[in-house]
């Protein structure tokens, strides 16, 4: 379980689906029986002491109207497409629980920024842009080969890394059906590697909870 401050107050907590039932029970023990209301993102628990917990349905899980159904949906097996990208590095796979039966990692060199000025700086900038565009094309081709044939069997697509790079990959019209499954969640990951992809398979299933303590 991880925790981090939330913009606007409170904190985000990521909970493994296997522990979500225990987490909810602990929240109720600490704050009292909550009122449960359905939200666009999932369920909101409002405790009598003023504490609240916004339970966000994990990617691919169906909408629910009560806590028992939410827990059941969170722990149910799902197939999730993963697409992680930063600069010239990309990692893709299909997660079944924490397993990655399908996966691929690829790296293509992209020129870093240079401190040189004048025409030299412009030349390096053009080279960098061309390398970045070529990396996006290769990444899109990889997604076509690896993820697209499985699109009808995916519950969601979770992305991570640099949003602009991911957007550039999914802008390929051939990947429209994958983009349609894209979850709002963007995983904060370092340069994609196989170990990072394994961690992403776990993070993609986590239940995100916005916790606000009593005033």
Mark whether 6 and 91 lie in a shared domain: no
Query: What confidence tens digit (pLDDT) does each residue in 20-50 have?
Result: 999 999 999 999 999 999 999 999 999 999 9
Mark whether 61 and 124 lie in a shared domain: no
Residue 188 to residue 153: CA distance in whole angstroms: 25
pLDDT at 2: 74
Mark whether 87 and 68 lie in a shared domain: no
Mark whether 114 and 49 lie in a shared domain: no
Contact 41, 53 (CB under 8 A): no
Mark whether 115 and 32 lie in a shared domain: no
Mark whether 39 and 93 lie in a shared domain: no
Q: What is the pTM of this model?
A: 0.86
pLDDT at 130: 57
Q: What domain count does the chain have?
A: 2
Question: What percentage of the chain carries pLDDT values higher than 70?
Answer: 88
Sheet containing 182-187: which strands, arranged edge to edge?
Answer: 99-107, 89-96, 79-86, 156-161, 182-187
Query: What confidence tens digit (pLDDT) does each residue in 97-143 have?
Result: 889 999 999 876 444 554 455 555 665 556 556 556 777 889 999 99
Check whether 84 has a pLDDT greater than 50: yes
pLDDT at 135: 77
Contact 90, 139 (CB under 8 A): yes
Mark whether 91 and 61 lie in a shared domain: no
Mark whether 156 and 122 lie in a shared domain: yes
Question: What percentage of the chain carries pLDDT values higher than 90?
Answer: 76
Print the domain residue range for 57: 2-77+206-212
């Amino acid at each position: 379980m991880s925790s981090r401050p939330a913009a606007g107050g409170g904190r985000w907590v990521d909970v493994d689906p296997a522990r979500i039932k225990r987490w909810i029970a602990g929240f109720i023990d600490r704050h009292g029986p909550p009122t449960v209301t359905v939200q666009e993102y999932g369920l909101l628990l409002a405790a009598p002491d003023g504490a609240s917990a916004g339970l966000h349905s994990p990617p691919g899980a169906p909408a629910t109207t009560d806590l028992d159904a939410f827990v059941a949906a969170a722990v149910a097996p799902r197939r999730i497409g993963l697409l992680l990208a930063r600069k010239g590095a990309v990692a893709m796979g299909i997660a079944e629980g924490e397993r990655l039966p399908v996966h691929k990692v690829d790296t293509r060199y992209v020129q870093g920024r240079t401190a040189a000025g004048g025409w030299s700086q412009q030349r390096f900038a053009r080279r960098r842009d061309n390398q970045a565009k070529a990396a996006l094309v290769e990444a899109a081709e990889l997604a076509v080969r690896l993820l697209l044939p499985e699109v009808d069997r995916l519950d969601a697509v979770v992305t991570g890394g640099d949003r602009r790079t991911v957007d550039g990959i999914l802008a390929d019209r051939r990947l429209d059906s994958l983009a349609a499954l894209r979850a709002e969640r963007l995983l904060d990951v370092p340069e994609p590697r196989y170990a990072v992809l394994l961690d992403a398979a776990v993070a993609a299933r986590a239940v995100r909870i916005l916790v606000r303590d009593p005033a």
